[in-house]
Structure 1
Amino acid sequence: MAPLHLTFACGDYDRTRALAEGTVRADGIDLTYLRLPVEETFFRMLRHREFEVAEMSLSSYVVSLREDPAPFVALPVFTSRMFRHGSLYVHADSGVEKPEDLRGKLVGTPEYQLTACVWMRGVLGDRHGVPFDSVRYVTGGQETAGRIEKAGLDLPASVRISRIPEDATLSAMLAAGEIDALCTPRVPSPFAAGDPRVRRLFPDVVAAEKEYWAATGIFPIMHVVVIRRDVYEQHRWVAQSLYKALVAARDAAYDSLYDTSALRFMLPWLTPQLEEARALLGRDYWSYGLADHRNREALAAFLRYHHEQGLSRRRWEPEELFAAESLEAAVI
């Protein structure tokens, strides 16, 4: 039987590179790997269903579950994980010196449903006394005017949210002091350029994130891998096949990252930083699946935040998100 041809749209990651290069292959699948920016992948998959398999924002995926039938089925493969305390930026004259000062302020975000921002609204509420509905939100393009939400939202009245002017950008508004703060996955251009008017809310991001890990044991999950439902329903076996291959690709990245013969990435202290991460988070710090209770706890926290913030009509359980075939394996 000829292999099934599937197109997989995903970022250019060390943990998926073996699939992109063909050194790891999924059983029975001829895979075309498209390296695309995450925003493009998400937009094209959510709006036009262009790919059979794609990386997807965890929040966007959970939003999509309200459709009947849901258009995608996820695998518990977390192509992006990241502590997000560094995603909060403030204007120097906003009066925001600590997280609690955000109450009553005007906060920009490219999209309300962005996974990074769901996480940080939840963290601010749980740990800093800033309920998600205690601030006002504006949405729009960060660096280019005109960005819109990828998925239609039906938010509760308690969420005070509006769009910025069509010709404005969030980065420029933050630098000018027209908004007090910005929550965004990408570094805003004024901060990257060293503009003194813009700074991070948490001045020592690493310390804040290590403290969060110590208190919660959560390494936030940002993205999952989804299969288009029509493909999954016709070929149920692809879930297990893709999951096994993605695990193998990640394991290859683990091994190459700890090759000290030459630095794989342009980070001078890559090796000691890797060793510190393993000491703090465990050797399998980028684990997939739900067998690791920490993944289950991270997902449960996110799903609670997602529901509380008005993005999902009910609170999903972690097991409900994923193809059953990807949660079980044959015992030999």
Structure 2
Amino acid sequence: MARLRLAFACGDYDRTRALYEGTVQPDGIDLTYLRLPVEETFFRMMRHREFEVAELSLSSYVMSLDLDPPPFVALPAYPSRQFRHGGVFVHAGSGIERPEDLRGKVVGTPEWQLTACVWIRGILADRHGVPVDSVEYRTGGQETPGRVEKSPVDLGGCVRIAPIPDGATLSGMLADGSIDALHSPRVPSSFRPGGPVRRLFADPVAAEKEYFAATGIFPIMHVVVVRRDVHERHPWVAQSLTKALHLAKRAALSDLYDSSALRFSLPWLVPAVEEARALMGEDYWSYGLAANAETLSTFLRYHHEQGLSRRRYAPEELFAPEAVEEFVI
């Protein structure tokens, strides 16, 4: 029987590299790994459904569940996770010294539906006294003019939000004080030592460690999705791909802790791994539903509260049923 040929569009990650190199192969699948920038993958998958399997923004995926029928089913594998306290930038002359000073300010965000920005707004509301509707928002390109939302967003008037002027960029507006702050997954080019832009949290790593200690949450940014028509024809691919993603991640984390020759160009890589394990547990980059139920539930609450999903989904509604059953590798 011929192996099923599938294209998988995903970023360049250590935790998926074994799939790219072919040292881990999904059972029954001939996988073509397309190593693409995440913005390109998301755009092509959301607009044109070009790939059978793809990395996708968690926020975009949850928004897609409101469609009839939903175009994708997700696997409980998370190629991108990241704390986001370091993604809040402020203009030095804005008068913002503490998170609560953001109330009443004008804040830029590349897109309202970006997963990183959903997390930032939720964390600021939950833990720092900055309700989502206490801020006025501006959307647009961070470094290049003309960016628009990849998916339509209807906020129903619950927040004050408007696009930035034609030809402007969020990075430039932050630098000249036209906006007071920026929520972004990327560091703006206007952030330079001694310049007019600084981080809200002066020590974001300390803030993120404190956040994890208090909540146990390591924010999930992206999931892996299978196009629904593929899953309906071949439901077994969900388990096969999930197993392969687990094996690829396991290989990467093992290589990360090899002290004989550092895998990446970081001089204190091994102590950093040891610290992460001590603070967050041995499987600090966990896959699966059970280990991430609280993280997913928190995000799904933020997503619904911020007007991005029609109802508050439950974590177990996100994934292909074949992919959430526990198995031993």
> In the alignment, is residue 6 of structure 1 matched against residue 3 of structure 2?
no
Q: 1:296 aligns with which of 293, 298, 306?
A: 293
Q: Supply the distance in 1 between the matched residues of 2:200 and 2:45 (Cα, whole angstroms).
A: 33
Counterpart CA distance in 2 for 1:195 and 1:146 is 29
2:320 aligned to 318, 323, 329, which one? 323
Q: CA RMSD in A?
A: 1.1
Distance in 2 (alpha carbons) for counterparts of 1:298 and 1:330:
21
Give, in whole Å, the separation in 1 of the partners of 2:142 and 2:328.
Answer: 49
Q: How does 1:11-50 map to 2 (within 5 A)?
A: 11-50=11-50
Deviations 1:54-96 (A, max 9, x none): 0000000001111010000000001111100000000000111
Q: Any residues of structure 2 matched to 1:231-310 within 5 Å, and which? A: 231-292=230-291, 295-310=292-307
Whichever residue aligns with residue 115 of structure 2, its letter is T
Q: Per-residue CA shift, 1:247-268, capped at 9, x if unaligned?
A: 0000000110000011111111
1:156 deviates by: 2.4
TM-superposed CA distance for 1:195, in Å, is 5.5
Change (3 A) 1:82 1:330: closer
Identity %: 74
Distance across 1 between alignment mates of 2:93 and 2:170: 16
2:69 is matched by which residue type in structure 1?
P
Q: Tell me the secondary structure at the aligned position of residue 51 of structure 2.
A: coil
Q: State the match for 1:53 in structure 2.
A: 53
Residue in structure 1 matched with residue 75 of structure 2 by the alignment: 75
- Deviations 1:113-159, CA, capped at 9 Å, x for gaps: 10011001010011011001100111000111111101001112121
Q: Describe the SS at the equivalent of 2:101.
A: helix
- Deviations along 1:171-216, whole A, 9 cap, x unmatched? 011001000000000110111x435100000000011001101111
Task: State the distance in 1 between where 2:327 and 2:248 align.
Answer: 20
Q: Judging changes above 3 Å, is the alpha-carbon distance between structure 1 residues 274 and 194 closer, same or farther for their aligned structure 2 residues?
A: same
**CA–CA separation in structure 2 for the residues paired with 1:183 and 1:329:** 36
Residues in 2 aligned to 1:300 and 1:204: alpha-carbon distance in whole angstroms? 27
Please give the alpha-carbon distance, in whole angstroms, between the structure 2 residues aligned to 1:330 and 1:218: 24
Cα offset, 1:330, TM superposition: 5.9
**SS at structure 1 position matched to 2:290:** coil
- 2:201 corresponds in structure 1 to 202
Residues of 1 paired with 2:162 and 2:194: CA distance? 26
What SS class does the counterpart of residue 32 from structure 1 fall into? strand
Secondary structure (helix, strand or coil) at the match of 1:190 reads: coil
Q: Secondary structure at the match of 2:287?
A: coil
Residue 166 of structure 1: how far off its partner (Å): 2.0
- Residues 32-58 of structure 1 show CA distances to partners (whole Å, capped at 9, x for unaligned) of 101111111101100111111000000
Q: Distance in 1 between matches of 2:196 and 2:276?
A: 32
In structure 1, what is the Cα distance between the partners aligned to 2:327 and 2:173? 54
Counterpart residue number, 1:222:
221
Question: C-alpha separation between the residues in 2 aligned to 1:17 and 1:260?
Answer: 20
Question: Which deviates the most, 149-158 or 110-119?
Answer: 149-158
Partner of 1:311: 308
Q: SS where residue 254 of structure 1 aligns?
A: helix
For the residue of structure 1 that corresponds to 2:15, the secondary structure is coil
Structure 1 equivalent of residue 154 of structure 2:
154
Q: 1:160 & 1:306 partners in 2: Cα distance?
A: 17
Alpha-carbon spacing, 1:165–1:195, altered in 2? closer, same or farther (3 Å): farther
Cα distance change on mapping 1:168 and 1:330 into 2, 3 Å: closer
Runs of 4+ in 1 over 2 A off after TM superposition: 329-332
Could you tell me how far 1:329 is from its partner in structure 2?
A: 4.4
Q: How many Å separate the matches in 1 of 2:210 and 2:231?
A: 40
Q: What TM-score, normalized to structure 1? A: 0.97
- The amino acid that maps onto 1:94 is S
Indicate the SS of the match to 1:250: helix
**Unmatched tracts of structure 2, length 5 or more:** none
CA–CA distance in structure 1, aligned partners of residues 187 and 33 of structure 2: 27
1:213 aligned residue: 212
Residue type of the alignment partner of 1:319: E
One-letter amino acid of the counterpart of residue 328, structure 1: E
- Partner SS state of residue 15, structure 1: helix
